[in-house]
């Protein structure tokens, strides 16, 4: 049993957050070759969750969940905290808990993330990650040939050149943003080691791509590779050969070892001051990444396979018995649970709009609090898991409509909503969580490329798939059982209704509509559609469902190199430069035209 007090009577909390920390690269989740002794050390001192899943994807939507304790991907794209959002760090500050963030996550000072860091009592920002607009070197930034002989095909774009300029000022690991971020975190702890009631979030962008490290880490993973400089996978299907895929995995592994080194500094600090007596420690991430699995690079343009959606998570609670530490838990958990966990630790009640649950009972008793958990990205598949099965439900309408963004903050990742996007918005009465605010309802348009059904991104986004992830963790054998599909649809509908999903989401997904009959978050407030209507909405055994199963959401067919599109930059249509030592898939003839691929593997 546990009580609500720590051994010293003080309460502090440290959250160490990584971006793109892949579960299958962690030593305590089954990886036998990664060099990460401090993650193994962490697992011995904490509770490791075996069924922890993403929620709203990717980076900033996940962070919004950490603040608000509720999913947001059904209501809008990537964006800032809204005026009606609850914010856990701000709630801490208003109740006498000093909240401090140190981060090198540059999305916080872009248009789509600019309202997050001000919710903390104090914060430090570290510059230089992933093309951050940091070092101004005019000639190099204007030179299209700067970094032009590297790979992939995006290297000639301005944000890639900016990243190269930034790297020139990081000649040793101590000068890299991650190291600086953890140093600032250590300084905060040293400065406040005797203080009570504080929350520290040490948040690094690593090991997000690009997988940039110094030689001291890369030398730990010797391997054969004779291609061009390549540490930044593109967001598309894999067109490179197996040696290149292996090279990227080793580059990522080197960055994991750098992350592990910095985690060790936090654990050393806990040991030095015996912070284990009164300080909660949470280590988390927002999502994973595909590095050749399913023949894909990256995330978001792909279905959310397990390598992306099933993420590592560790929590140490000083109030719990010591025999909890070093244990694993099987109960479902998700990103929306972090906010209630921190608030409960500091004796602060959650708000009525928060839908996550504190992890305390799951850490003590492995007691489940939910039957299913949903996750996804706005306008993409809605996914649901019960820990044994994963169901990915794609849109069924011709153009993925109706679909809207609901917001009072019309920004994208690196830009404002355009005047064209804002010409047709309507005023909406809002939802249960918008606190009476009238909000903007803005039509969301899906790019035509995603709808054509002749390319891997489109085929992946149009795929409805069902997997048994216990028996088939690689998700290579899609299922088509209508009774099982009905069961997973019921889980999905219940969680969508609980989240107050816009009614048009059901229409675009081809699903019957549940009704929330009164306020609250329990199952008893949701009136479900009939079993017959749910069974009728099953599609795995239809022609479209069979086509999805045959394709499997994988990175095929292989496409030609053509126009390069990236948010915040003009499209590049100048062709692709191929380094002489580039290693592509054998037997595939690549085209630099807009035509069909000349060969398909």
Tens of pLDDT, residue by residue over 184-204, are 999 999 999 999 999 999 999
Q: Are 391 and 486 in contact (CB under 8 A)?
A: no
> Which pLDDT score is estimated for 145?
84
Q: What pLDDT, on a 0 to 100 scale, did the predictor assign at position 588?
A: 54
- pLDDT for the residue 156: 79
pLDDT band of 593, cuts 50, 70, 90? very low
Q: In Å, how far are 392, 509, 543 from 528, measured between CA atoms?
A: 20, 16, 27
Paired sense of beta strands 314-316 and 279-285, if any: antiparallel
- Per residue in 540-570, pLDDT (tens digit) is 999 999 999 999 999 999 888 776 666 667 6
Picking from 460, 451, 438, 326, the residue whose alpha carbon sits closest to that of residue 392 is 460
Question: 196 CB contacts (<8 Å, ≥6 apart)?
Answer: 9, 10, 11, 12
**Structure tokens belonging to residue 46:** 């904490």
List, for residues 95-119, the tens digit of each pLDDT value: 999 999 999 999 999 999 999 999 9
In the predicted structure, residue 599 carries a pLDDT above the cut 50: no
Q: Which two tokens stand for residue 57?
A: 């994807």
Residue 167, H or E segment: helix 158-167
Which residues touch 204 (CB under 8 Å, ≥6 apart)?
17, 18, 19, 103, 104, 105, 177, 178, 181, 182, 259, 262
Q: What is the pLDDT of residues 16-48, one digit of tens each?
A: 999 999 999 999 999 999 999 999 999 999 999
Q: Is the peptide bond before 597 cis (omega within 30 degrees of 0)?
A: no
Whether 175 shows a pLDDT value over 70: the answer reads yes
For the segment 341-348, the average pLDDT, to the nearest whole number, is 98
Percent helix, strand, coil in the chain, to 5, is 35, 15, 50
The secondary structure element, H or E, covering residue 265 is helix 242-272
Which tokens belong to 223?
A: 């391997």
d(Cα 262, Cα 94) in Å, to the nearest integer? 31
3-class DSSP string for 61-88? HHHHHHHHCCCCCCCCCCCCCCCCCCCH
| Range with lowest mean pLDDT among 3-7, 283-287, 459-463 | 3-7
CB 217 within 8 A of CB 115: no
Is 451's pLDDT higher than 90?
Answer: yes
458, 469 in Cβ contact below 8 A?
no
For residues 150-161, average pLDDT: 87
- Rounded-to-integer distance, Cα 459 and Cα 454, Å: 7
- Cβ neighbour number for residue 446 with a 10 Å cutoff: 18
User: The dihedral of CA 289, 400, 512, 536: what is its sign?
Assistant: negative
pTM listed for this prediction? 0.96
Q: Is the pLDDT of residue 407 over 70?
A: yes
Mean pLDDT estimate for the chain: 94
ω into 210 cis (within 30 of 0):
yes
Contacts 24+ apart (CB under 8 A), 350-354: 350/69, 351/69, 351/86, 351/91, 352/519, 353/68, 353/69, 353/70, 353/86, 353/432, 353/433, 353/435, 354/68, 354/69, 354/70, 354/86
Residue pair 277/12 in contact (Cβ under 8 Å)? The answer is no
Instruction: State yes or no: pLDDT of 335 exceeds 70.
Output: yes
Region 445-458: what's the mean pLDDT? 94
Q: What is the tens place of the pLDDT at every residue in 373-397?
A: 999 999 999 999 999 999 999 999 9
Phi, psi of 352 (to 5 degrees): -70, -20
- What are the two backbone dihedrals, phi and then psi, of residue 267, each rounded to the nearest 5 degrees? -65, -40
- CA atoms of 404 and 75, how far apart (whole Å): 7
Non-local (6+) Cβ contacts of 49 within 8 A are 312, 313, 314, 315, 328, 329, 331, 333, 359, 362
Under the banding of pLDDT at 50, 70 and 90, the label for residue 594 is: very low
pLDDT-wise least confident of 20-34, 55-69, 568-582 = 568-582
Residue 439 has pLDDT above 90, yes or no: yes
Closest CA to 337 of 69, 3, 1: 69
Mean pLDDT of 402-428: 97
Query: Is the CB of residue 70 less than 8 Å from the CB of residue 433?
Result: yes
pLDDT at 587: 59
**Residues 558, 588 contacting (CB under 8 angstroms):** yes
pLDDT band at 571 (very low <50, low <70, confident <90, very high): low
What's the pLDDT band for 443 if we cut at 50, 70, 90? very high
Rounded to whole angstroms, the Cα distance separating 16 from 181 reads 11
What string of DSSP letters covers 351-405?
PTT-----SHHHHHH-----S-EEEE-TTS-EEEE-SSEEEEE---STTS-S-EE
What confidence score (pLDDT) does residue 125 get? 98
Domains, in order of start, for the chain: 12-134+162-316+328-373 (3.40.720.10), 379-403+444-551 (no CATH)
**Spatial distance between the Cα atoms of 392 and 400, rounded to a whole number of angstroms:** 15
Closest CA to 81 of 43, 107, 47: 107
Taking residues 411-426, report their average pLDDT: 96
In angstroms and rounded to an integer, the radius of gyration of the C-alpha atoms of the chain is 23
């Amino acid at each position: 049993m546990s009580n609500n007090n720590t051994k010293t009577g003080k309460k502090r909390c440290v959250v160490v957050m990584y971006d793109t920390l892949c579960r299958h690269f962690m030593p305590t989740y089954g990886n036998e070759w990664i060099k990460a002794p401090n993650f193994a050390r962490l697992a011995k001192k904490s509770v490791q969750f075996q069924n922890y899943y993403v929620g709203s994807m990717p980076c900033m939507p996940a962070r919004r969940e950490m603040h608000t304790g509720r999913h947001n991907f059904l209501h809008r794209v990537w964006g800032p905290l809204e005026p009606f959002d609850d914010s856990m760090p701000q709630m801490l500050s208003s109740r006498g808990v000093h909240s401090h963030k140190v981060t090198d996550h540059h999305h916080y000072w872009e248009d789509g993330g600019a309202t997050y860091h001000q919710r903390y009592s104090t914060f430090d920002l570290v510059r230089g990650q992933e093309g951050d607009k940091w070092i101004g070197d005019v000639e190099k930034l204007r030179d299209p040939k700067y970094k032009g002989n590297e790979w992939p095909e995006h290297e000639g774009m301005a944000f890639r050149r900016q990243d190269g300029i930034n790297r020139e000022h990081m000649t040793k690991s101590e000068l890299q943003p991650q190291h600086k971020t953890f140093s600032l975190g250590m300084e905060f702890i040293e400065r406040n080691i005797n203080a009570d009631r504080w929350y520290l979030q040490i948040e690094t962008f690593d090991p997000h791509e690009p997988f940039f490290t110094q030689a001291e880490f890369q030398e730990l993973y010797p391997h054969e590779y004779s291609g061009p400089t390549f540490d930044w996978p593109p967001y598309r299907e894999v067109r490179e050969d197996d040696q290149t895929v292996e090279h990227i995995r080793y580059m990522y592994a080197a960055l994991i070892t750098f992350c592990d080194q910095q985690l060790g500094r936090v654990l050393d600090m806990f040991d030095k001051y015996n912070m284990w007596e009164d300080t909660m420690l949470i280590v988390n991430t927002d999502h994973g990444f595909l590095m050749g699995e399913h023949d894909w690079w990256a995330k978001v343009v792909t279905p959310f396979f397990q390598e992306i959606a099933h993420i590592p998570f560790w929590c140490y609670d000083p109030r719990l018995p010591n025999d909890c530490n070093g244990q694993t838990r099987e109960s479902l958990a998700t990103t929306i649970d972090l906010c209630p966990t921190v608030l409960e630790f500091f004796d602060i009640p959650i708000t009525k709009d928060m839908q996550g649950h504190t992890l305390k009972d799951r850490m003590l008793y492995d007691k489940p609090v939910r039957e299913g958990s949903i996750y996804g990205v706005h306008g993409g598949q809605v996914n649901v898991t019960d820990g044994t099965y994963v169901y990915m439900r794609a849109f069924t309408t011709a153009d993925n409509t109706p679909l809207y963004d609901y917001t009072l903050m019309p920004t994208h990742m690196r830009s404002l909503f355009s005047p064209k996007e804002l010409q047709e918005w309507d005023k909406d009465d809002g939802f249960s969580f918008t606190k009476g605010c009238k909000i903007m309802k803005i039509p969301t348009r899906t790019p035509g490329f995603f709808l054509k059904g002749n390319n891997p991104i489109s085929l992946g986004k149009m795929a409805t798939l069902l997997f048994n992830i216990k028996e088939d963790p690689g998700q290579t054998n899609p299922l088509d059982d209508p009774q099982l599909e009905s069961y997973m649809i019921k889980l999905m509908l219940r969680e969508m209704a609980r989240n107050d999903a816009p009614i048009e989401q059901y229409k675009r997904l081809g699903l019957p509509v549940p009704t929330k009959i009164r306020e609250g978050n329990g199952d008893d407030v949701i009136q479900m559609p009939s079993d017959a209507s749910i069974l009728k909405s099953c599609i795995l055994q239809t022609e479209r469902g069979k086509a999805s199963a045959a394709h499997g959401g994988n990175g095929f067919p292989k496409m030609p190199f053509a126009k390069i599109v990236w948010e915040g930059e003009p499209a590049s249509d100048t062709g692709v430069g191929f380094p002489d030592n580039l290693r592509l898939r054998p037997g595939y003839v690549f085209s630099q035209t807009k035509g069909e691929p000349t060969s398909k593997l």
